[in-house]
Structure 1
Amino acid sequence: MSRRRHQPKPGDLIEIKRSVYQHWALYLGDGYVIHVASTNEWIPLQLAEIVTIFTRKAKVKKQLLKEGVGNNDWEIHKYDRSHTPFPVEEIIKRAESYIDREVTYDLPDKNCEHF
Protein backbone atom coordinates (compact mmCIF):
# COMPACT_ATOMS: atom_id res chain seq x y z
CA MET A 1 0.00 0.00 0.00
CA SER A 2 1.53 3.27 -0.95
CA ARG A 3 0.49 6.81 -0.23
CA ARG A 4 -0.92 7.05 -3.73
CA ARG A 5 -3.48 4.28 -3.30
CA HIS A 6 -4.87 4.56 0.24
CA GLN A 7 -5.74 7.27 2.71
CA PRO A 8 -4.82 6.46 6.33
CA LYS A 9 -7.45 6.47 9.04
CA PRO A 10 -7.01 7.67 12.65
CA GLY A 11 -5.10 5.07 14.66
CA ASP A 12 -3.26 3.61 11.66
CA LEU A 13 0.47 3.02 11.99
CA ILE A 14 2.48 4.60 9.21
CA GLU A 15 5.76 2.97 8.20
CA ILE A 16 8.02 5.52 6.53
CA LYS A 17 10.72 3.96 4.39
CA ARG A 18 13.96 5.85 4.87
CA SER A 19 17.09 4.88 2.95
CA VAL A 20 18.56 2.45 5.52
CA TYR A 21 15.82 2.14 8.17
CA GLN A 22 12.09 2.46 8.73
CA HIS A 23 10.52 5.24 10.74
CA TRP A 24 7.09 4.87 12.40
CA ALA A 25 4.30 7.33 13.13
CA LEU A 26 0.72 7.20 14.38
CA TYR A 27 -1.89 8.76 12.10
CA LEU A 28 -4.24 11.13 13.95
CA GLY A 29 -6.48 12.32 11.13
CA ASP A 30 -6.73 15.57 9.15
CA GLY A 31 -3.27 14.91 7.69
CA TYR A 32 -1.45 14.79 11.05
CA VAL A 33 0.78 12.19 12.68
CA ILE A 34 2.53 11.83 16.02
CA HIS A 35 6.04 10.43 16.01
CA VAL A 36 9.32 10.39 17.89
CA ALA A 37 11.85 12.61 16.13
CA SER A 38 15.09 14.46 16.65
CA THR A 39 15.12 17.24 19.22
CA ASN A 40 17.07 19.33 16.68
CA GLU A 41 14.61 20.96 14.30
CA TRP A 42 17.32 22.19 11.92
CA ILE A 43 18.80 18.77 11.08
CA PRO A 44 17.76 17.26 7.72
CA LEU A 45 15.67 14.07 7.94
CA GLN A 46 18.54 12.00 6.55
CA LEU A 47 20.79 12.90 9.50
CA ALA A 48 18.25 13.25 12.30
CA GLU A 49 18.17 9.55 13.19
CA ILE A 50 21.96 9.37 13.52
CA VAL A 51 22.09 12.45 15.77
CA THR A 52 19.24 11.06 17.90
CA ILE A 53 21.10 7.77 18.39
CA PHE A 54 24.16 9.59 19.73
CA THR A 55 22.34 12.14 21.91
CA ARG A 56 19.88 9.49 23.21
CA LYS A 57 17.21 12.20 23.23
CA ALA A 58 14.14 12.59 21.09
CA LYS A 59 10.99 14.64 21.07
CA VAL A 60 7.42 13.53 20.47
CA LYS A 61 6.06 15.69 17.67
CA LYS A 62 2.74 16.30 16.01
CA GLN A 63 3.34 17.11 12.37
CA LEU A 64 1.63 16.94 9.04
CA LEU A 65 2.23 13.52 7.52
CA LYS A 66 3.86 15.13 4.47
CA GLU A 67 6.39 16.90 6.74
CA GLY A 68 7.29 13.73 8.64
CA VAL A 69 7.56 11.67 5.46
CA GLY A 70 9.51 14.12 3.34
CA ASN A 71 10.28 12.52 -0.03
CA ASN A 72 10.15 8.97 1.33
CA ASP A 73 7.57 6.35 0.46
CA TRP A 74 5.28 5.04 3.20
CA GLU A 75 2.61 2.46 3.85
CA ILE A 76 -0.25 1.89 6.26
CA HIS A 77 -0.24 -0.83 8.90
CA LYS A 78 -3.58 -1.53 10.55
CA TYR A 79 -2.78 -3.92 13.38
CA ASP A 80 0.06 -5.21 15.50
CA ARG A 81 0.54 -8.91 14.83
CA SER A 82 1.34 -9.84 18.42
CA HIS A 83 -0.84 -7.57 20.58
CA THR A 84 -4.51 -6.62 20.60
CA PRO A 85 -4.63 -2.82 20.20
CA PHE A 86 -6.51 -0.47 22.49
CA PRO A 87 -9.51 1.35 21.00
CA VAL A 88 -8.42 4.08 18.56
CA GLU A 89 -9.62 6.89 20.82
CA GLU A 90 -7.48 5.57 23.70
CA ILE A 91 -4.41 5.15 21.48
CA ILE A 92 -4.68 8.71 20.22
CA LYS A 93 -5.38 10.13 23.70
CA ARG A 94 -2.29 8.41 25.12
CA ALA A 95 -0.07 9.49 22.23
CA GLU A 96 -1.28 13.10 22.37
CA SER A 97 -0.35 13.28 26.07
CA TYR A 98 3.31 13.03 24.97
CA ILE A 99 3.31 15.82 22.36
CA ASP A 100 6.28 18.19 22.82
CA ARG A 101 7.82 16.02 25.54
CA GLU A 102 11.46 15.05 25.37
CA VAL A 103 11.91 11.29 25.74
CA THR A 104 14.87 8.98 26.11
CA TYR A 105 15.85 7.37 22.81
CA ASP A 106 17.55 4.01 22.62
CA LEU A 107 17.81 2.30 19.25
CA PRO A 108 17.11 -1.30 20.39
CA ASP A 109 14.60 -0.59 23.19
CA LYS A 110 13.00 2.90 23.02
CA ASN A 111 12.68 4.12 19.47
CA CYS A 112 9.93 5.40 17.17
CA GLU A 113 8.54 1.88 16.67
CA HIS A 114 8.22 1.30 20.42
CA PHE A 115 6.45 4.61 20.91
Structure 2
Amino acid sequence: MAASTVPLDTHNGTLLNELEIGDMVEFPRGLYSHWGVYIGKGKIVHLSGGDNDGINAFNSGSVFTICGKSFNKAFVRVDDFCRVVLGCKAKKNNGKDRKCTPRQAHEILEIALDKVGEIGYNVLWNNCEHFAAFIRYGEKWSEQVDTALTWTVAAGAVAVGGLLLYNLFKGSEEEKESKK
Protein backbone atom coordinates (compact mmCIF):
# COMPACT_ATOMS: atom_id res chain seq x y z
CA MET A 1 0.00 0.00 0.00
CA ALA A 2 1.45 3.38 -0.98
CA ALA A 3 2.30 5.75 1.87
CA SER A 4 -0.15 8.36 0.57
CA THR A 5 -3.06 5.92 0.87
CA VAL A 6 -2.29 4.86 4.46
CA PRO A 7 -4.93 6.28 6.80
CA LEU A 8 -3.64 9.13 8.94
CA ASP A 9 -4.20 7.35 12.25
CA THR A 10 -2.38 4.27 10.99
CA HIS A 11 0.53 6.33 9.68
CA ASN A 12 0.90 8.31 12.91
CA GLY A 13 0.51 5.17 15.04
CA THR A 14 3.23 3.40 13.09
CA LEU A 15 5.48 6.45 13.36
CA LEU A 16 4.91 6.71 17.11
CA ASN A 17 5.91 3.06 17.56
CA GLU A 18 9.12 3.64 15.57
CA LEU A 19 10.25 6.83 17.36
CA GLU A 20 13.23 6.69 19.68
CA ILE A 21 14.07 9.08 22.49
CA GLY A 22 15.67 12.18 21.00
CA ASP A 23 14.11 11.97 17.54
CA MET A 24 12.92 15.28 16.14
CA VAL A 25 9.30 15.11 15.02
CA GLU A 26 7.90 17.43 12.37
CA PHE A 27 4.19 18.18 12.34
CA PRO A 28 3.38 19.80 8.95
CA ARG A 29 0.70 22.50 9.35
CA GLY A 30 0.44 23.80 5.79
CA LEU A 31 2.50 26.99 5.53
CA TYR A 32 4.81 25.95 8.35
CA SER A 33 5.71 22.92 10.42
CA HIS A 34 5.56 22.56 14.17
CA TRP A 35 8.49 20.70 15.77
CA GLY A 36 9.07 18.71 18.90
CA VAL A 37 11.36 16.05 20.32
CA TYR A 38 10.21 12.58 21.29
CA ILE A 39 11.05 11.81 24.92
CA GLY A 40 9.50 8.34 25.20
CA LYS A 41 6.22 6.87 26.44
CA GLY A 42 4.24 8.62 23.69
CA LYS A 43 5.38 12.11 24.82
CA ILE A 44 6.68 15.09 22.87
CA VAL A 45 8.50 18.06 24.39
CA HIS A 46 7.96 21.21 22.36
CA LEU A 47 7.82 25.01 22.45
CA SER A 48 4.13 25.67 22.26
CA GLY A 49 1.80 28.64 22.09
CA GLY A 50 -0.78 27.16 24.44
CA ASP A 51 -3.28 24.50 23.47
CA ASN A 52 -2.46 24.07 19.80
CA ASP A 53 1.33 24.37 19.46
CA GLY A 54 2.43 27.20 17.17
CA ILE A 55 -1.11 27.88 15.97
CA ASN A 56 -1.93 29.83 19.11
CA ALA A 57 1.45 31.53 18.99
CA PHE A 58 0.47 32.88 15.55
CA ASN A 59 -2.93 34.03 16.81
CA SER A 60 -1.58 35.59 19.99
CA GLY A 61 0.93 37.97 18.46
CA SER A 62 3.80 35.82 19.75
CA VAL A 63 5.24 35.61 16.25
CA PHE A 64 6.52 39.14 16.52
CA THR A 65 9.01 40.72 18.83
CA ILE A 66 9.54 44.31 19.84
CA CYS A 67 13.19 45.38 19.82
CA GLY A 68 14.19 41.71 19.88
CA LYS A 69 12.23 40.92 23.06
CA SER A 70 10.30 37.66 22.87
CA PHE A 71 6.66 37.60 23.84
CA ASN A 72 5.88 35.37 26.79
CA LYS A 73 2.94 33.49 25.26
CA ALA A 74 4.78 30.31 24.20
CA PHE A 75 6.41 27.95 26.65
CA VAL A 76 8.14 24.58 26.73
CA ARG A 77 5.76 21.76 27.59
CA VAL A 78 5.34 18.01 27.41
CA ASP A 79 2.28 16.66 25.61
CA ASP A 80 1.03 13.35 24.29
CA PHE A 81 2.03 12.79 20.67
CA CYS A 82 -1.66 12.43 19.77
CA ARG A 83 -2.43 15.86 21.21
CA VAL A 84 0.34 17.53 19.19
CA VAL A 85 -0.36 15.76 15.87
CA LEU A 86 -3.67 17.65 15.37
CA GLY A 87 -4.72 15.72 12.28
CA CYS A 88 -1.49 16.14 10.32
CA LYS A 89 0.83 13.46 8.96
CA ALA A 90 3.72 13.66 11.42
CA LYS A 91 7.19 12.54 10.43
CA LYS A 92 10.48 11.75 12.08
CA ASN A 93 12.92 14.33 10.78
CA ASN A 94 16.48 14.06 12.01
CA GLY A 95 17.71 15.64 8.77
CA LYS A 96 20.00 18.00 10.63
CA ASP A 97 22.09 14.93 11.56
CA ARG A 98 23.85 15.47 8.22
CA LYS A 99 25.44 18.66 9.62
CA CYS A 100 25.19 18.30 13.41
CA THR A 101 26.04 15.54 15.85
CA PRO A 102 23.09 14.55 18.03
CA ARG A 103 23.47 14.30 21.77
CA GLN A 104 23.05 10.96 23.51
CA ALA A 105 19.44 9.96 24.27
CA HIS A 106 19.91 10.31 28.04
CA GLU A 107 21.33 13.84 27.57
CA ILE A 108 18.44 14.82 25.31
CA LEU A 109 15.91 13.58 27.85
CA GLU A 110 17.62 15.39 30.74
CA ILE A 111 17.96 18.70 28.87
CA ALA A 112 14.42 18.49 27.49
CA LEU A 113 12.86 17.94 30.91
CA ASP A 114 15.02 20.70 32.39
CA LYS A 115 13.58 23.16 29.84
CA VAL A 116 9.91 22.40 30.64
CA GLY A 117 8.16 25.60 31.72
CA GLU A 118 10.63 27.98 30.06
CA ILE A 119 8.81 30.89 28.48
CA GLY A 120 9.65 32.79 25.30
CA TYR A 121 9.11 32.76 21.57
CA ASN A 122 10.68 34.60 18.68
CA VAL A 123 9.85 33.46 15.16
CA LEU A 124 13.36 34.28 13.89
CA TRP A 125 15.56 33.24 16.83
CA ASN A 126 13.58 31.02 19.20
CA ASN A 127 10.75 29.12 17.52
CA CYS A 128 9.72 25.48 17.98
CA GLU A 129 12.23 24.25 15.38
CA HIS A 130 15.07 26.18 17.05
CA PHE A 131 14.02 24.62 20.35
CA ALA A 132 13.87 21.05 19.01
CA ALA A 133 17.26 21.43 17.30
CA PHE A 134 18.77 22.80 20.51
CA ILE A 135 17.47 19.84 22.50
CA ARG A 136 18.83 17.30 20.00
CA TYR A 137 22.08 19.01 18.95
CA GLY A 138 22.86 21.82 21.37
CA GLU A 139 22.48 24.30 18.52
CA LYS A 140 19.45 26.45 17.68
CA TRP A 141 18.73 26.12 13.98
CA SER A 142 15.55 26.54 11.96
CA GLU A 143 15.65 25.59 8.29
CA GLN A 144 12.16 27.13 7.93
CA VAL A 145 13.57 30.51 8.98
CA ASP A 146 16.66 30.09 6.80
CA THR A 147 14.46 29.32 3.79
CA ALA A 148 12.09 32.21 4.49
CA LEU A 149 14.98 34.65 4.90
CA THR A 150 16.63 33.38 1.71
CA TRP A 151 13.40 33.91 -0.25
CA THR A 152 12.94 37.35 1.32
CA VAL A 153 16.48 38.42 0.41
CA ALA A 154 16.10 37.00 -3.11
CA ALA A 155 12.78 38.80 -3.62
CA GLY A 156 14.33 42.02 -2.31
CA ALA A 157 17.28 41.65 -4.67
CA VAL A 158 14.96 41.08 -7.63
CA ALA A 159 12.91 44.15 -6.65
CA VAL A 160 16.00 46.34 -6.26
CA GLY A 161 17.42 45.03 -9.54
CA GLY A 162 14.14 45.77 -11.28
CA LEU A 163 14.07 49.30 -9.89
CA LEU A 164 17.65 49.92 -10.96
CA LEU A 165 16.93 48.69 -14.48
CA TYR A 166 13.74 50.74 -14.62
CA ASN A 167 15.56 53.89 -13.48
CA LEU A 168 18.43 53.22 -15.88
CA PHE A 169 15.99 52.77 -18.77
CA LYS A 170 13.92 55.77 -17.67
CA GLY A 171 17.06 57.90 -17.39
CA SER A 172 18.26 56.96 -20.86
CA GLU A 173 14.80 57.74 -22.30
CA GLU A 174 14.80 61.15 -20.58
CA GLU A 175 18.30 61.80 -21.90
CA LYS A 176 17.15 61.02 -25.46
CA GLU A 177 14.15 63.35 -25.06
CA SER A 178 16.31 66.21 -23.78
CA LYS A 179 18.69 65.89 -26.80
CA LYS A 180 15.78 66.32 -29.24
TM-score range, shorter chain: 0.7 to 0.9
Identity in percent: 24
**Among candidates 1, 14, 36, match of residue 25 of structure 2:** 14
Counterpart contact for 2:47–2:53, Cα < 8 Å: no
The structure that has the greater radius of gyration is: 2
TM-score by length of 2: 0.55
Bigger proportion of residues as strand = 1
Q: CA deviation at 1:49?
A: 3.1
Query: Is 2:57 the partner of 1:49?
Result: yes
Instruction: State the SS of the aligned residue for 2:21.
Output: coil
Bigger proportion of residues as helix = 2
Counterpart contact for 2:34–2:54, Cα < 8 Å: no
Counterparts in 2 of 1:1-115, with a 5 A limit? 2-6=11-15, 7-38=18-49, 40-41=50-51, 44=52, 47-50=55-58, 51=60, 52-54=62-64, 56-57=71-72, 58-78=74-94, 80=96, 81-102=98-119, 104-115=120-131
Q: Which runs of 5+ in 1 are unaligned?
A: none
List structure 1 runs of 4+ shifted beyond 4 angstroms: none
TM-score by length of 1: 0.83
CA RMSD of aligned residues (A): 2.1
Number of equivalenced pairs = 111
Q: Which runs of 5+ in 2 are unaligned?
A: 4-10, 65-69, 132-180
